[in-house]
Amino acid sequence: MLNEMLKRTIYDEPVNLKADAAAILANILESGSLQLNDLHTDQKMSLHYVIYNLIKRVRISTPDDMNINFVRILLCFMKFPKTQDIMVSVVEEGDACTNIIELLNNPNEELQVVSILFSIALSPHFGHILADRLCKTRGQPQALLKELPENTTPTKKQAVSASFLAKLPHENLILNLALCNSVPLILRKLHQVERSGARMSKYGSVYLEGLVGILVRFTSTLHENQFLVLARTFNFTNVFTELLMNTFSDEIQKLSANGLENLSSKTLALSKPPQIKKLKFKKLKNLRGFYLQKCFKFDTRNLEITSLCPVHKGVCSSKETFCLVEAKAVKKLLTCFDHNNIQVVEAALSAICMLLDEQVDLDTSVSILIQEKAIQHVLNVIKAHKNESLRQKSFWMLDKLLKDGDANSTSEISQDRFLRATLINVLHYGNEDIRLMAEKIMRHLI
């Protein structure tokens, strides 16, 4: 098949044997019946040669059916570490990213889909390059987010398109600027798919995960005022808080917690003390004016007193300062601690840890968390998961709860026998960082 595709140069054949060979090889590789060790090439045709020539042939001038099968073969090669390394090396040498992105404007939908899937596979290695090429391509990236007609289920193309935009590097400012006008459309699509029940369709879940991922990417560039205004205008804090309860998708819960963490990281800087305006009177020269000023009385009952956030000690709201307390997101995030998916738990832990920053009112913050049964949730995480990263964050949070909590919280933690056994085990076998955290907790409990 490889010889037929890459070496034969006979013209005017009644059947396009190159296209047939490419289709057959793509089908064999996609079936999963062929392992890389079974893939033999002759001495004159190494795997590097094969991959180089396949990538070189993927371009606009190649017939659509050939492009489709070439990309399908390359996608299968990305599944094997050996061929993946060769492919990354070959793509680095040439301008394959540009050729792949140009295929997104091809009218053939099947070619669009496989090109997007291949771009997703390349994104961990060439994310910023792909984002840059996408923004320089006519009509993109907006064309990947076309309006979904009412009462229709998402197609495969719409699902992979949203997923591609969500997986490109979130910190890419150029792509985020190109997408920021799409937020009303994305929110409308989220409600539309939820309302119609289309999320239960074949591609509904992937489509929704992609849309939420696009929203999260904007929270990675909040240092730019345009995205700060965007997050406030569309109340991203409430959007992600509501999405936390969509238990049909682990990915959406994880992404929502990531978004809340990013937003909450800005709360301290945005939470400001209320501005008190002092009334200034002009000096009145005449005696009558002097007596009027002295006798004039203000009714302080009519003055509006702005309540301060107990954690951030400033004027807070879910919309303007992205405060997790004001958004009532704390309880929902703590509920995610009991999730079976480690990624969801870790994302929720990271978001809650923003409330234990050294610059917040730790006494109040710890008190709020204890009232929401945070101690039991953290202990459950330690019991359910042995992941080191997860345990390190759990230990860090326990240390804060012990350090700034009351005697009751210390008693509750000290009575957990499993925790003590875990701490002893970590002290013997854990890495240096987690051992230090375990030592801190043990000192509190002695």
Residue 99 forms part of a structural domain: yes
Rounded distance between C-alpha atoms, residue 146 and residue 415, angstroms: 56
pLDDT in tens, 235-260: 999 999 999 998 789 999 999 999 99
Residue 294 forms part of a structural domain: no
Rounded distance between C-alpha atoms, residue 116 and residue 121, angstroms: 9
Q: Which two tokens stand for residue 105?
A: 């404007």
Coil, strand, or helix at residue 315?
strand
Structural domain ending residue among the three candidates 140, 158, 193 = 140
Question: Of the ranges 216-230, 260-274, 305-319, 391-405, which one carries the lowest mean pLDDT score?
Answer: 305-319
Q: Which two tokens stand for residue 363?
A: 């006494």
Residue 279 pLDDT level (bands cut at 50, 70, 90): very low
Say how many domains are in the chain: 2
Q: What is the CATH number of the domain that holds 12?
A: 1.25.10
Residue 37 forms part of a structural domain: yes
pLDDT in tens, 407-427: 888 999 999 999 999 999 999
Residue 268 forms part of a structural domain: no
Q: What is the dihedral of CA 90, 95, 97, 103, to 10 degrees?
A: -120
Contacts of 319 (CB under 8 A, 6+ apart): 232, 235, 237, 238
Query: Interior CA angle at 174 toward 168 and 180, to 5°?
Result: 85
Name the residue type at position 187: L
Report residue 279: phi and psi, to 5°.
Answer: -80, 130
**Could you list the residue range(s) of the whole structural domain that residue 402 is in?**
378-446
The answer on pLDDT for 283 being more than 70 is no
Average pLDDT, stretch 170-195? 94
**DSSP category for residue 107:** S
| Residues 344/258, Cβ–Cβ less than 8 Å | no
Residue 129 forms part of a structural domain: yes
Q: Which two tokens stand for residue 33?
A: 């019946």
What pLDDT shows up at residue 1? 83
The answer on pLDDT for 26 being more than 90 is yes
Rounded distance between C-alpha atoms, residue 71 and residue 111, angstroms: 9
384: exposed, middle or buried (Cβ count in 10 Å: 0-12, 13-18, 19+): middle
What pLDDT shows up at residue 146? 81
Residue 177 forms part of a structural domain: no
pLDDT in tens, 83-109: 899 999 999 988 899 999 999 999 999
Q: What is the dihedral of CA 70, 75, 79, 82, to 10 degrees?
A: 50
pTM for the structure as a whole:
0.89
The answer on pLDDT for 34 being more than 80 is no
| Residues 46/23, Cβ–Cβ less than 8 Å | no
Coil, strand, or helix at residue 272?
strand
The answer on pLDDT for 180 being more than 90 is yes
Residue 402 pLDDT level (bands cut at 50, 70, 90): very high
Structural domain ending residue among the three candidates 140, 163, 198 = 140
Rounded distance between C-alpha atoms, residue 324 and residue 102, angstroms: 42
pLDDT in tens, 227-236: 999 999 999 9
What pLDDT shows up at residue 152? 79
The answer on pLDDT for 80 being more than 90 is no
Residue 148 pLDDT level (bands cut at 50, 70, 90): low
Rounded distance between C-alpha atoms, residue 378 and residue 142, angstroms: 42
Structural domain ending residue among the three candidates 89, 111, 140 = 140
Residue 372 forms part of a structural domain: no
Residue 178 forms part of a structural domain: no
Residues facing residue 272 across a β-bridge: 315
pLDDT > 70 fraction of the chain, expressed in percent and rounded:
88
| Residues 172/128, Cβ–Cβ less than 8 Å | yes
